Amino acid sequence: MAITTTDHAVPHTSTVPATAGQKVELFVREHDGTPSGPPANRKAVLMLHGRSVPALAGYDLQHTSYGWAKAVAQAGYDVFMMDLQGSGLSPRPRMEDPCNVNPQQQAAVTPPLMGPRSPSYPYVLTNSQSDRDELGTVVDYIRSERHVSEVAFIGWSAAAFAMGPYAVSNPNKVESLFLLAPIFPPLGPSTPPTLPVSGFPTHVLTRKGLDDAWAKEAKCPNQREDDMIDVVWDALMEIDPLGRTWGKIEDGRPLGVSRYRNFVSWGWNNTTAGQGGVLGGSVPVLIVHGEHDKTANTTPPNPNPVLDFHVPALYDAIQGPHNILVTVKCAGHSMPWEIQHKNLQNLSKNWLKHLAVAGKTQGRYEMDLNGDISPEPEVPPVL
């Protein structure tokens, strides 16, 4: 299947507090694999990144078979990947100043920063409303440019904060919802704080930090290939030319850091997920997570409801009947970069085509290393 790749600069009026009212351009990459034929046959898919991994490093990794977006495009879809502001190749306002980095992470930024400094912008950068506004702009752009009425969603990790509530509010624009390792606080806040929220705009991730967090969830032999940390880190550095000039010096050059936005969230909880029976009703939902994922499943439970995350709780909160949960064996939060990546890609393609898993539209299932799907074993009651 021939694929046409196009990078778009989607115009948007910013609602990020630091740049509110300004005209910005959101980065969107398109892999168009739609066969020629009537426009009515075109199917569009939008992939949204999570908290710390931008779209291209997450979905368009240029390494052997790890390019998820291209795999979906090769199945005949028009696939779009977007970066929210503060991430990847979209604008990163206030993030160019190393003084605006999380004070607890500023040691990783030296040079050019020597010692903790007060931020020049002492606020959290983005929020649930600005993210949903940007998602809505890109959805409408795709619908207009490609003459489709609905867009299928694929979201990884914290993408759920934007995609879930957007789908609830705009079911006529969302064909289906595929959530990988969704961050879901069942008792999270429903109402926004006073904006902007005091804090800082920028987090940074080091290569060691990425490797350490990933290794904690790599519980199976060969769960990730030996060189994947270098492949992923190189992809992150490729799309952050400023961040790769920061960091501690080793062998005469900076190690680099990957910058990502600090954001505040609300409106994604048990109440939202069950609202009106939209999710699992007019918007079919497939939820997927790795059995070793402790990022999206806080264990032990966090006493702060804002930071207490549980993937199965999202499945339970959704009221509509078209709702599936799949637990993937030998996988963690970084499944798109792990040994199960091909099975994940195939699962997403089958879902987009059939809106079902193993012929079913409801229930809890497991996927093994061969990609075989079976009902999740029932847990015997505690006597």
Q: pLDDT tens for the chain, 383 residues: list them.
A: 689 999 999 999 999 999 999 999 999 999 999 987 766 678 999 999 999 999 999 999 999 999 999 999 999 999 999 999 999 999 999 999 999 999 999 888 876 666 667 899 999 999 999 999 999 999 999 999 999 999 999 999 999 999 999 999 999 999 999 999 999 999 999 999 999 999 999 999 999 999 999 999 999 999 999 999 999 999 999 999 999 999 888 888 889 999 999 999 999 999 999 999 999 999 999 999 999 999 999 988 999 999 999 999 999 999 999 999 999 999 999 999 999 999 999 999 999 999 999 999 999 999 999 999 999 987 666 55
Cα–Cα nearest to 334, from 28, 31, 59:
59
Task: Work out the burial of residue 38: count CB atoms within 10 Å of its CB; fewer than 13 is exposed, 13-18 middle, 19 or more buried.
Answer: exposed
Task: Tell me how far apart the alpha carbons of residues 357 and 351 are, in angstroms, rounded to a whole number.
Answer: 7
Chain position carrying tokens 């350490």: 212
What three-state secondary structure class fits 17?
Answer: helix
What three-state secondary structure class fits 99?
Answer: helix
Task: Tell me how far apart the alpha carbons of residues 139 and 174 are, in angstroms, rounded to a whole number.
Answer: 9
273, 222 Cβ separation under 8 angstroms? no
Task: Tell me how far apart the alpha carbons of residues 15 and 23 are, in angstroms, rounded to a whole number.
Answer: 10
CB atoms < 10 A from the CB of 336, how many?
Answer: 22
The radius of gyration of the chain from alpha carbons, rounded to an integer in Å, stands at 20
Question: Nearest 10 degrees: CA dihedral of 305, 131, 147, 277?
Answer: 20
Task: Tell me how far apart the alpha carbons of residues 147 and 131 are, in angstroms, rounded to a whole number.
Answer: 24
231, 49 Cβ separation under 8 angstroms? no
Q: Which two tokens stand for residue 288?
A: 């997927």
Taking the CA atoms of 356, 357, 359 and 363 in sequence, report the sign of the dihedral they define. Answer: negative
Q: Which two tokens stand for residue 228?
A: 């994947």
Task: Work out the burial of residue 113: count CB atoms within 10 Å of its CB; fewer than 13 is exposed, 13-18 middle, 19 or more buried.
Answer: middle
